[in-house]
């Protein structure tokens, strides 16, 4: 007993410190991309304020990362699109958006056709 008891003075310090640090409070915002709620933390708000950003983030972290990743300039991996092989019917992925008027082949069929 007693190990966890804090003196009144200590508690006051903690409240004071907490109050000082909490000029910003965690805020729950709604992502405009996926509609999920996300927390705009006090730390992030402080960061935004320091940088002079006027606007609150409009997207959750996942969507922000996804947008970053999908930006071509970022030089990341190319976006892959699901497609069905026109030859064997197997699901496959292609680095371009499949079009109705253009058959898409899986890598095996594509290789086989090219070798003809
Ligand atoms: Zn989102
Ligand atoms: Zn195929």
Query: Taking 90 as the threshold, does the pLDDT of residue 86 lie above it?
Result: yes
CA of 72 to the centre of ligand 2 (A): 28
- My answer on whether 15 and 55 are in the same domain is yes
- My answer on whether 69 and 16 are in the same domain is yes
Contacts of 77 (CB under 8 A, 6+ apart): 69
**Ligand number with the minimum distance to the CA of 34:** 1
- Identify the band that residue 6 occupies on the pLDDT scale cut at 50, 70 and 90: low
- My answer on whether 98 and 43 are in the same domain is no
3 within a domain of the structure (yes/no): no
- My answer on whether 16 and 67 are in the same domain is yes
- pTM (whole model) above 0.75: no
- My answer on whether 40 and 97 are in the same domain is no
The β-bridge partners of 103 are: none
CB atoms within 10 A of CB 85: 18
CA of 103 to the centre of ligand 2 (A): 11
Higher pLDDT: 14 or 71? It is 71
In eight-state DSSP terms, residue 34 is T
**Ligand number with the minimum distance to the CA of 88:** 2
- My answer on whether 28 and 68 are in the same domain is yes
Please give the pLDDT value at position 1. 58
- My answer on whether 34 and 62 are in the same domain is yes
* Among 7, 73, 70, 63, residue whose Cα is nearest residue 81: 70
In eight-state DSSP terms, residue 36 is -
pLDDT tens track for 10-58: 655 555 555 444 578 999 999 999 999 999 999 999 999 999 998 899 9
- My answer on whether 41 and 58 are in the same domain is yes
Please give the pLDDT value at position 31. 96
**Ligand number with the minimum distance to the CA of 67:** 1
């Amino acid at each position: 007993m007693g190990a966890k008891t804090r003196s009144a003075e200590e508690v006051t310090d903690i409240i004071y410190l907490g109050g000082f640090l909490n000029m910003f409070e965690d805020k729950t915002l709604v992502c405009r991309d996926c509609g999920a709620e996300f927390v705009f933390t006090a730390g992030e708000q402080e960061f935004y304020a320091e940088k002079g950003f006027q606007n609150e983030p409009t997207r959750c972290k996942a969507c922000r990362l996804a947008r970053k990743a999908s930006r071509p300039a970022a030089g990341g991996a190319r976006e892959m699109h699901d497609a069905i092989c026109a030859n064997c019917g197997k699901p496959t992925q292609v680095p371009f958006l499949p079009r109705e008027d253009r058959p898409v082949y899986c890598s095996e069929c594509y290789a086989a056709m090219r070798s003809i």
